[in-house]
Amino acid sequence: MEPSRYDVCNGDADGLCAVMQWRLDNPQPATLVTGLKREIELVERVPAKAGDEVLVCDVSLLRNRAALERVLAAGASVRWFDHHAAGEVPVHPRLEVHVDQSAGVCTSLLVDHHVGGRWRRWALVGAYGDNLSAVADPLARAMGLTDVERARLRALGEAVNYNAYGETPADVHIAPAALYARLARHADPLVCADAEPVVAELLALRDADLARAAAVAPRWSTDHGVVVVLPDAAWSRRVQGSFANRIASHEPARAHAVLRPDARGDYVVSVRAPLHAPAGAHALCRPFGGAGRAAAAGIDRLSPVRVDEFVRAFEAQRWSASAS
């Protein structure tokens, strides 16, 4: 049996754009393994065998360690790019790991560095989708992109990122794997934004959902932070991440937490550290069973009895400019 290739990634903008760059630089057929934003344990879906090649992008090694060890034991080779918590990284001759948890880094930028910036426009789409405009804008200007072009790349990144949020495939406009197939038709994301009607559809749907979210009064608000609790609805499940990014961008001196109830009666939480002090989100979420990065983290299941405790911890959190 011939060896197979698998591209494993988060279904958000950062994950999909990281794989886009890799496959533009290495145009070989591969099976895409992806899912919604909070589907993290994706490596376990890879039916690896000896000789297979597995690319993993924007997926926590810490959350996939057992599956990684199984894939390596089966005889496959693994190349891993990520900016989330990795834990202790295994040492193996068939494992190559590129992990950087710095606040101004995303997976698309890690892949961009590895491939020499040859597909940087797609890296910018991933960075904009990951709410890293402060990093993406200077890179775009250095490339000579106009303000209009930068705005179009940002809109595309935000549209792709928005589409990754939901509890079930029925919540989102298009499955992330199907969206990737449309993006992959185009080496230039500016051409993609014009040629693929799904981009305008996603932006229109996102804008409508953002307007609904913006109408929800904060549960708690001070000069240092804001906590918003959205209702349980398909639109809130779609827009939670985009809304957290939007309010974080609009008020960079304040931290933000966006909660919404899930089907089990628990809460899903998205946390954004202040853009002016982008470290501390993962430290806040970890005691509540959450994970993520210094600038942006989340909690998949927060019991209702711990919501007040979380708000108190959020209020007491001391944000910093460094993850160290």
pLDDT 10s digits, 204-249: 999 999 999 999 999 999 999 999 999 999 999 999 999 999 999 9
**In-domain check, residue 323:** no
Does the pLDDT at position 12 exceed 50?
A: yes
Number of domains in the chain: 2
Mean of all residue pLDDT scores within the chain: 95
**pLDDT tens by residue, 27-82:** 999 999 999 998 999 999 999 999 999 999 999 999 999 999 999 999 999 999 99
* 99 DSSP β-pair partners: 82
Output the domain CATH number for residue 118: 3.90.1640
Q: What residues form DSSP beta bridges with 69? A: none
Domain final residue, candidates 179, 203, 227: 203
pTM equals 0.90
- Residue 323 has a pLDDT of 55
Length of the chain as a residue count: 324
Please indicate, yes or no, whether residues 183 and 255 belong to a single structural domain of this protein: no
pLDDT for residue 324 is more than 50: no
322 within a domain of the structure (yes/no): no
Domain range for 114: 5-203
